[in-house]
Structure 1
Amino acid sequence: MFDLTTLSTFVVIVIGLFLVPGPAVLLVVTRTAQGGRKAGVMAGLGIATGDLIHTLCAAVGLSAILMTSAVAFNFVKFAGAAYLIYLGIRAILEKPADPEMPKVAPVSAFRSYGQAIMVEILNPKTALFFLAFLPQFVNPELGPTIPQFLAFGLIFVLLSAVYTTLIAMSVGVLGRLIKRISWIGRWSGKFVGAIYIGLGLKVAFQSR
């Protein structure tokens, strides 16, 4: 369904994106601090569930476009590549965010899970990210696109769930580490930006 090189590249890029603290990490850390490890783990699973829903929407929607026209699908890929390059440039130019965690009221593990799902589903930036990110690894020449979308999406969700669980289980150590290593905040945006731009340029050069 897809070659080993594409799969390994996808996994490496996803892990690279996860290693840079972002909104998902802040949410998990906050929920863990307010409700304990169980609440943090459930928040991470909620984020993964929201990502799974975005994956299903992207798979059905973009595959429908491909069935209509291969040209239209290529247009979506290039539009996605342009969006990723835009995200990369913005991430590089953006000033480091304040590392302070938002103050939130304590919540139960179940409520933490539900809230995390809603936050992820209703985030338009997340929807755009999946629409732009997943097509870069889907190759219609290798077979039906829906299974490819679902496979990459499930891998992303699985890695996300494992990563956020590890974050929740080690939130105390992680917080102390981030405070000591100040360069993480200064360079995280540039690291993510380079990944986004690289993905966008990958499509442009492959088409020539």
Structure 2
Amino acid sequence: MAGLRRGRRPDEQPPEVRMTTLPTGAELLRYVVLVTGVIIAPGADLALVLTSAVRGGRQGGLATTMGIVSGVFVWAALAGAGLAGVLVASATGYLMLRLAGAAYLLFLGIKFLAQSRSVAPPVDRTGGAGKARSFWSYFRRGWVADVMNPKMAVFYLAVLSNFLHPGDFLPGKVFFLALVHASIGLLWFSSISLAVGRSNILARNPRVRRMLNLAGGAVLVLLSIEVALPMQW
């Protein structure tokens, strides 16, 4: 009888596992702090937004920002499907992603360095078609840079594993965490884009614009080397 009291009756159903989508308050706070630290740390995204805002004004910076935050959802989807973990675990796959990302950063860096040689202001495409082409050009630049960033694969593999638990509704929770990440990135990089885009000194002084292009290009080149040949500190 004692054994029956301690155990479950034959006709008793196992306890229902509730599928949850939202993290707890403590988990959300920890995630926000972690993601904010990663976003505001100087890196390729910041350099790309700054140089885009200098070259293309407010529209260029905001379009690049939207491309970057859109890439977050790509990595979240891959992480939710388990592909990010497979990619990181595969030495060949991770090496290919790392070299592709480094090559793209190097391409952008050289492009900005070449643009720094000219002090002429950028062409203002006032036509609707011209603005659309310019927007998608900057958007694509941010999206490709984020999707080809190997650090995003490592970040999502390491971070999401700490915030996903048995009983979670995986697609919903991964999407929610990605939405938080994208929202913080959108707020931070949009603020930078607006600040740089509205700066009158950049519009009046082409030499300042040239120096920022030179600095941004140099940073992207150095980051491409760091991505291709990660240093052990």
Aligned CA distance change for structure 1 residues 117 and 205 (closer, same or farther; 3 Å)? same
Alignment gaps of 5+ in structure 2 = 1-29, 165-173
- Of 153, 156, 161, the residue aligned with 1:135 is 153
User: C-alpha offsets along residues 93-117 of structure 1, whole Å, 9 cap, x if unaligned?
Assistant: 6653234334334368xx96x6665
- Of 171, 189, 194, the residue aligned with 2:222 is 194
Query: How many residues were matched structurally?
Result: 185
Does the CA contact (< 8 Å) of 2:45 and 2:68 recur in 1? no
Residue 26 of structure 1, CA deviation: 1.8
Amino acid at match of 1:127: W
RMSD in angstroms over aligned alpha carbons?
Answer: 4.1
- Tell me what 2:72 maps to: 55
- Tell me what 1:173 maps to: 201
Q: In 2, Cα distance between the equivalents of 1:27 and 1:88?
A: 18
Does the CA contact (< 8 Å) of 2:69 and 2:182 recur in 1? yes
Does the CA contact (< 8 Å) of 1:50 and 1:117 recur in 2? no
Structure 1 residue 71 and structure 2 residue 99: aligned?
no
Q: In 1, Cα distance between the equivalents of 2:33 and 2:144?
A: 26
- Tell me what 2:97 maps to: 80
Aligned CA distance change for structure 1 residues 22 and 200 (closer, same or farther; 3 Å)? same
TM-score (norm 1): 0.61
- Tell me what 1:106 maps to: 126
Indicate the percent of aligned positions where both proteins have the same amino acid.
12
Aligned CA distance change for structure 1 residues 152 and 201 (closer, same or farther; 3 Å)? farther
Partner of 1:106: helix, strand, or coil?
coil
Does the CA contact (< 8 Å) of 1:6 and 1:137 recur in 2? no
Amino acid at match of 1:84: G
Q: Which has the larger radius of gyration?
A: 2
Residue 167 of structure 1, CA deviation: 1.9
Amino acid at match of 2:162: L
Aligned CA distance change for structure 1 residues 126 and 5 (closer, same or farther; 3 Å)? closer
Q: In 2, Cα distance between the equivalents of 1:188 and 1:23?
A: 9
Aligned CA distance change for structure 1 residues 47 and 93 (closer, same or farther; 3 Å)? closer
Alignment gaps of 5+ in structure 1 = 29-39
Q: In 1, Cα distance between the equivalents of 2:106 and 2:137?
A: 25
- Tell me what 1:159 maps to: 188
Does the CA contact (< 8 Å) of 1:27 and 1:43 recur in 2? yes
TM-score (norm 2): 0.56
Q: In 2, Cα distance between the equivalents of 1:18 and 1:168?
A: 14
Q: In 2, Cα distance between the equivalents of 1:169 and 1:188?
A: 18
Does the CA contact (< 8 Å) of 1:45 and 1:161 recur in 2? yes
Partner of 1:96: helix, strand, or coil?
helix
Q: In 2, Cα distance between the equivalents of 1:24 and 1:58?
A: 25
Residue 90 of structure 1, CA deviation: 4.4
Q: In 1, Cα distance between the equivalents of 2:108 and 2:60?
A: 25
